[in-house]
Structures are given as C-alpha cells and as structure tokens.
Structure 1
Amino acid sequence: MTSEIVAGLRAAQPSPVGVTGARGSEYGELGRQVRHASLLDRRPGWYCARIAVNLGLLAAGWAAFVLVGNSWWQLGIAAFLAVMFTQFAFIGHDAGHRQIVSGRRASNAVGLLHGNLLVGLSFGWWLAKHNRHHSHPNQIDRDPDIGAGAFVFTPADAGRRRGLGRLLTSYQAYLFFPILLLEGLNLHVASVRELVGRRGRLAVVEALLLTVHFTAYLAAVALVLSPVRAVVFVLVHQALFGLYMGCTFAPNHKGMPILARDEPDFLRRQVLTARNIRGGRLTDLVFGGLNYQIEHHLFPSMPRPSLRRAQPLVRAFCEARGLAYQEAGVLGSYGEVLRWLNEIGAPSRHPGRENRLVTAGNLVGLAPRLRTSQGARE
C-alpha cells in the first residue's frame, strides 16, 4: 500500500489505458475538441478565489464557535462546519487530479493541507485509492469503491454474506442514509490506520498534519464546551460531514452498470459507468463539480469551472456515436442508487427469489439500463 500511495502522489490521474485502434481514435478526437476549446487550461485565479472564500468562511465558523460558547446553538455551527469540511475536501480532490496547478509538488502540497490539516483525512491514502477507481470504474475486483464493506454492490458479494452482514445487506437500501452518518468517522479512522504502518518522509508529514488537525479540533471543542455538549457537537459534526460526503459521491456510479472486465477502450469504460446530475450553479457548488462525473472521468485534470462548459460538447459527441450518456436529477439519482441496493439485497430478504439483475457480456445491471448500454454498443 505504501508504494501505491507514493505512486499515486507521483501520478495524480490515470492515463487512458487501452485507447487503441478505431475506438481509441474517438477519444483522441474528443480530446482534440476539448483542447481546442481551452477546457483543459488551468484556472488558478478561480481556485485562489474559491480557496480564499472557503478559508474566510471556515474562520468565521470557528469565530462563531468561540463567541457562542457553551450552548446547544453550537449544533448549528457543527452543521455549518460539516459543509465547510466537505468543501475543503472538494478542493483536495481537485488538487489530487492536478486541476489547480500542473506541478506535482504544488498539487500535493495543496492536497495535504486541505486533506490532512483542514479536514483530517490522509491525502496520500485517499489518492491511491481514488486513482484505482478512476482507472477501473465499477470494475469487479479492481475498483475499490465497489468492494464489499458496509454496503455490497454485486450479487456475488451479497451471496457471500452471512449472519449480521447478510441481515444488513437485506435492508441496505433502507440503511443507506443512516450508515452514511458514520462515513466521516470511518474516513478518519481509515486515514489513521493507514498511516500507522507506513514509513518514509511522506508518512511523517501526513502524520504530523493529522496530529495538528485532531489536536486543535479536540482542544477547541474541549475548551469551549461542556463534556456532554462536546461529545454531541463532535458526533453531529462528523455525522453530517459523512452524510454530505457520501451524498455527493454515491450518485456518480452506484446503480450504473458494473463491469466484469475492462471495456475495450477508455472512452466507453468511463462513460458507461458514470452518471451526471442535472442542475444549475447551486448544484455545481453543492456537489463540488462531481455532478459532471462523465466529463470528470474522461478528463480528470479538467478544472472544475470548465466542466459545465465541456458538458454539451461531450454529450453531443456521445450521442453522435450512439453512446449512452446518463443524466438524472438529484432525487432521481438517489432513487437509482437505492433501487440498485435494494435489488442486490432482495435475495437475502427472500431466499429463492430470482434477482432482477441481469448479465450480458461484461455488463451487469438492471434490465432497462442494460438495454440502453447494449444499444449504445451495437
């Protein structure tokens, strides 16, 4: 894992592996159109302004925390800080893909400061994991984001569950949002656990930044709040942080076709497994640009403010080639995620029930979506 983390920091985005032949030239043509429109040009001014605003809001939040003092009104500040932590995580995500600056060291510095220091998450651990996801989205045994954990996303993983795990899988669609309340704490624990066994200068830097974050965070809470209010504040803050994070990442791929093996080319591998979220500028802000998941996966280094401009170009390109371009509203996207989780868990609730998940070639999906994907490939 340590070598993967170092490699991830050296190569902040996957290359379009497998882009060869006639289909490979399609991605090359799309890339030329995107570059011609200057959509891959860095936007440092935009990011400087966004980071400055975020820092100002964070400072205002902690100032309000001190001024309000030992009061239950602090729970409102906990909710506000949960939003700000997620907004900082979005900047760390963009830094990991070198959207802000092209240099590796500068990108890593931004990522470490936002991830480890400001949010309390290991940037190196997350980036190594995230790069594997980008290289093989929704691919069984290769995408860590669909590996069995609190939720399972494939019939095979569901079939292996026993005891309490099987019971949780049975009702995972109903437990989806409640379990997301634990995601913030899970990310913190995973970050610390990953750093425990690591060696080298990067591990030391990450550990020091995490130590500063947790020390300052817990000291502030302990000094201002009574023990009971302090515990409740931390629980509310971390629960809402996890819920917000989970709600912005889950709609991107969950409920989309799962690949049993690599698609033959980068373009189809990225488009068929991603879902965009329809909306306006507010949606862009709330989702941190992840609502343009198709464009982001095709061009990971594209700066966040350019994704909206790239969308009509990419959509038209896909439609001209009969390639399914999936979009949904915010509520509709959550509905698709929940339907998928429910279908995966249904056989555990009703033994002997036939699973409505169908398989064709190397795609696994719900029948209506699968037909759309098949038609796009014929």
Structure 2
Amino acid sequence: MMMQIGEKQAGNGSLVGKNQPPVGEKHQANDKPEANGKAEVSPKQEADGKGDTPRKSLNLYSWQEIQRHNQEADQWLVINRKVYDVTSWADRHPGGHRVLHHYAGEDATAQLVEDFRELRRTLEAMNMFSASLGFFSLHLIQILILEVLAWLMLWHFGNGWPITICISFLLTISQAQSSFLQHDTGHLSIFKKSKWNHLMHRFVMCHLKGLSVKWWNHRHFQHHIKPNIYPKDPDIDVGPLFLVGDLQPLKYGKKKIKYIDYEKQHLYFYMVALPLLMPVYFNLQSMQVMYLRRYWKDIVWVSSFYIRYFIAFGPFYGIFGTILLIYLVKFLESPWIACVTQMSHIPMKMSREENRDWLSTQVLATCNVEQSFFNDWFTGHLNFQIEHHLFPTMPRHNYQKVAPLVRSLCAKHGLQYVNKPILKAFGDIVRSLKKSAALWMDAYYET
C-alpha cells in the first residue's frame, strides 16, 4: 500500500506538497510488504502515470491520517517515505517500547538533510564508526587497576580513616570511569559478535556499577531520540523537585503550584541533586524497575556487585561498614556524574515536540565543552556531546576527528555550534536553574 505525504515540514524546511510522487508501501515491522496482492510500482512510474498498476489500486495516506496512528495499540512510522505498522513489534524493540511510541505518527527518518547524509557517508568511508578494541581495553584495565589498588592499600595499611578516605577516592574514580565505559558498551559494537558486546555491557553496568542494564537502556535511548523534548525525554522530567527550561516554570507558575520554594532551586541543586543523584535517585529507581519488571538477569548481575564488595571489603569493615563504603563512593561519584551529564543539556533549548530533523534536534539540545586531555578523561569524552548525539554509535576516540566537519555543517545551515570552557559549562547549570526560577516567580506572583 502506498502513502502520499499531503503537507508536512521536511528536514530542509520546505513543504512536501500533495503533487509529490507516492512514497512507498505500508510494511509490517519485519520490513516485508503486507500481502495485499498489489504489485509494487516505483515512485517515478507512479508519478508519471506510466506504471503497469493503475493508481487507484494503491492505497495512499495523508499525513493527517498517519498522525492519528500514534497510540500504544496503533503505531505507524514513516521511514524513507514508506509506512510501517510497528504495533505488534514495539514491545520487542531493543530500546524499549517507548522509543517507537515517541515517533508514532511521525517521520522517523534519521537523516533528512542531504548534507548530513553526505557527511555520514563521508565518515563511514573514513572508518569513523569502527571501535578500537585496544582503546576500550586500556580503559577497562584502568578501572580494574584502581579497584585492585584500593584493596591492596586496605590490605597493607589497614582500615584507618586516612586509608579509608584514600580508597574511597580511588573507588570513586573507578566508578565514574565505569559510568563512561558502560555508556560506550551500551551504544557501540566494540566486539564483532553482539553476544560479547551484551556481556560486556552487563559486566560493566551491573557488576562494576551495580545498576540495571535494561533500566538504563529504557531510559537513555528515549533521551537520545528526543533530547530536551517534553514529555518524551525522561532526563528533563525532574519535577516537582526542579523546574527546568522555559515551559515547566511557566506551567507551574500559572497554575500557582509551589511544592517547594523554586526561587532557591539553584541553591538546593548543590545540596540535593549533586550528592544524591547516584546513591538515591538512580540507585533506587534501578532497583525498583528491576523488581517490578522482573529483570532476573539484571538482578543476578547486580547482586554480584554487592557480593564482590562484601568479599573484598567485608573482612575489614564488616557488613554495615561495607554498605556505608558503597554509598560513600556513590555519594562522592554523584557530583562528578551530575555535572558531566547535565552541563550539556540543561542550559540548552527545551521544547515540546516540533518535529525537527535529526540534525537540528540534536544540535539545539546539546553543547560541547572545550577539548583537552584532562577534559576528555574527566568527562569520558562526553565533552563532545554534539558529535555523540549526532552519531551515537561512533566510538568516542573519534569525536575529536569529526568535530571540525560537524562544526562546518552547522555553520552552513545556520545552527549554533556551542563550545564552552568546562567551568563555564558547570556554572551554566546553576545559571539556567536561576533563569527558570525567575520565570516561575514571574508567573506565580503575577496578579
């Protein structure tokens, strides 16, 4: 069955009119045309009226009709001008059913701007999407050395307070670098066989971090496809504790909602968000999701994280002391991870769905931090957030190489490529929270 586009905003800002050629068949999610007994006709033949199959035998769909199929029990996507019914397959999507649901009734084609498609082809020809096993092996070795060194110091010097503080910082660095490595294993094909990649992802995320892989995938993949888009990006759904962007503060203010004194949210960001993101919010949410959704494999793997800690540190600190050590490390890691993950998104544009093309969506919602050896290591190369969002399956050791090409493409199309010093990036988190607080105040106290 064929589809006709009606009127819809295309990636380059032009309108696709009703006289455009038909754009493909309606497919099931397995990419096979539905068995409807109709012959396939090329778009050009159909447009010229020279196809062997009469035009009336093909079912055409307007955008208005497609956009009605955006419910969980009825989901259509448009990819490369073909209509796909993904309703029955959505629950089996590797990134979770919400990833598809966020695009239901929309054009889900990733590269709509021809220049961006050309850039991607160029990067593929340059082998920029091939991961270096040596690079990631060295990263894993760094983490393991820190873990072993912490235990050796404890074994040799005992569990006095100075040694406990030292090993806590070593384990904190290990945990933070593990966060970056699990981010890699969640996005990349580091190994040729996917089963080894899945195994490494579970090892790093569950065994080294103590968090659920499926919980992270379900949450993080939504963030990548719709960054800073309400209500599709779970990373900006931080109400009622914080109000971010322009829309949430105005909504709360106009409705006279004041769960907390939002005027001071930039201050309690330091007291609440920075220290408690990892040990409380992420940790408890991961456990809740694993239990409620019966992620048994993740439960077993996460259990191995705690077993490892009790075996390694239990003889020195006991059960209660080991639990305190685990959460002390998560407490120390939390400000690091909170700043690195939030500096590139919270200060950027937040909006409701605007159906922008992939390039614009990602660039408007992200910013970079200046490159240096320290910044690359400290952020796990997430200082190249624009490149990471445009090419999520690109290994991070190649971000620096492709950044000049991305910057040139943004300049050509009038998109602002934001690149700032790391301390300014950290400060912009608080400044954006103050700005949002001011918007809330104006709306709340408006007579």
Q: TM-score by structure 1 length?
A: 0.82
> For the residues of structure 1 that align with 2:169 and 2:441, how far apart are their CA atoms?
35
Which residue in the other structure is 1:311 paired with?
403
Please point out which of 123, 126, 132 is paired with 1:34: 123
**What are the superposed Cα offsets for residues 334-365 of structure 1, whole Å, 9 maximum, x if unpaired?**
222211111112255566568xxxxxxxxxxx
2:349 paired with 1:257: yes
3-state DSSP class of the match of 2:230? coil
Contact 1:125 1:194 in 2 (8 A): yes
Please point out which of 296, 312, 334 is paired with 2:426: 334
2:260 paired with 1:170: no
Instruction: Please say which of residues 342-351 and 320-329 is displaced more in the overlay.
Output: 342-351
Contact 1:132 1:143 in 2 (8 A): yes
C-alpha deviation, 1:229, in angstroms: 6.0
Q: Report the CA distance shift for 1:353/1:26 in structure 2 as closer, same or farther (over 3 A).
A: farther
Amino acid at match of 2:276: L
> For the residues of structure 2 that align with 1:164 and 1:75, how far apart are their CA atoms?
40
**What are the superposed Cα offsets for residues 163-197 of structure 1, whole Å, 9 maximum, x if unpaired?**
87322x33221122332111121222111111112
Q: Report the CA distance shift for 1:221/1:56 in structure 2 as closer, same or farther (over 3 A).
A: closer
Which residue in the other structure is 1:157 paired with?
248
Contact 1:5 1:127 in 2 (8 A): no
> For the residues of structure 2 that align with 1:242 and 1:99, how far apart are their CA atoms?
28
2:170 paired with 1:75: no
2:213 paired with 1:123: yes
**What are the superposed Cα offsets for residues 127-177 of structure 1, whole Å, 9 maximum, x if unpaired?**
11110000001001000110134422144434438887322x332211223
C-alpha deviation, 1:99, in angstroms: 4.7
C-alpha deviation, 1:58, in angstroms: 1.8
Please point out which of 276, 281, 285 is paired with 1:182: 276
2:290 paired with 1:195: yes
Contact 1:10 1:104 in 2 (8 A): no
Amino acid at match of 2:213: F
**What are the superposed Cα offsets for residues 106-145 of structure 1, whole Å, 9 maximum, x if unpaired?**
2221111001011101111101111000000100100011
C-alpha deviation, 1:98, in angstroms: 1.5
Q: TM-score by structure 2 length?
A: 0.70
Which residue in the other structure is 1:137 paired with?
227
Contact 2:159 2:316 in 1 (8 A): yes
Instruction: Please say which of residues 137-146 and 31-40 is displaced more in the overlay.
Output: 31-40
> For the residues of structure 2 that align with 1:165 and 1:87, how far apart are their CA atoms?
36
Contact 2:206 2:301 in 1 (8 A): yes
Name structure 1 gaps, 5 residues minimum: 355-378
> How many correspondences in the alignment?
346
Contact 1:85 1:119 in 2 (8 A): yes
2:368 paired with 1:276: yes
3-state DSSP class of the match of 1:182? helix
Which residue in the other structure is 1:374 paired with?
none
Q: Report the CA distance shift for 1:340/1:145 in structure 2 as closer, same or farther (over 3 A).
A: same
Instruction: Note the aligned Cα RMSD (angstroms).
Output: 2.9
2:178 paired with 1:112: no
3-state DSSP class of the match of 2:338? helix
**What are the superposed Cα offsets for residues 263-304 of structure 1, whole Å, 9 maximum, x if unpaired?**
421011111111100031111111001100000011001111
Instruction: Please say which of residues 72-81 and 128-137 is displaced more in the overlay.
Output: 72-81
Amino acid at match of 2:408: A
Please point out which of 44, 47, 64 is paired with 2:153: 64
> For the residues of structure 1 that align with 2:228 and 2:192, how far apart are their CA atoms?
27
Which residue in the other structure is 2:378 paired with?
286
Amino acid at match of 2:297: V
- Structure of greater relative contact order (alpha carbons < 8 Å, 6+ residues apart): 1
3-state DSSP class of the match of 2:196? helix
Amino acid at match of 2:339: C
Amino acid at match of 1:96: G
2:329 paired with 1:237: yes
> For the residues of structure 1 that align with 2:119 and 2:168, how far apart are their CA atoms?
44
> For the residues of structure 1 that align with 2:193 and 2:441, how far apart are their CA atoms?
51
3-state DSSP class of the match of 1:252? coil
Which residue in the other structure is 2:108 paired with?
17
Instruction: Please say which of residues 58-67 and 213-222 is displaced more in the overlay.
Output: 213-222
What percentage of residue pairs aligned between the two structures are identical? 24
> For the residues of structure 2 that align with 1:338 and 1:133, how far apart are their CA atoms?
21
Amino acid at match of 1:40: F
Which residue in the other structure is 2:94 paired with?
8
Instruction: Please say which of residues 212-221 and 48-57 is displaced more in the overlay.
Output: 212-221
3-state DSSP class of the match of 2:183? helix
> For the residues of structure 2 that align with 1:347 and 1:298, how far apart are their CA atoms?
31
Contact 2:382 2:388 in 1 (8 A): yes
Which residue in the other structure is 1:225 paired with?
317
C-alpha deviation, 1:234, in angstroms: 3.9
Instruction: Please say which of residues 96-105 and 52-61 is displaced more in the overlay.
Output: 96-105
Which residue in the other structure is 2:417 paired with?
325
Amino acid at match of 2:165: L
Q: Which has the larger radius of gyration?
A: 2
3-state DSSP class of the match of 1:291? coil
C-alpha deviation, 1:226, in angstroms: 6.6
Contact 2:207 2:301 in 1 (8 A): yes
Amino acid at match of 1:78: S
2:181 paired with 1:87: no
Q: Report the CA distance shift for 1:64/1:134 in structure 2 as closer, same or farther (over 3 A).
A: same
C-alpha deviation, 1:4, in angstroms: 8.0
Contact 2:146 2:171 in 1 (8 A): no
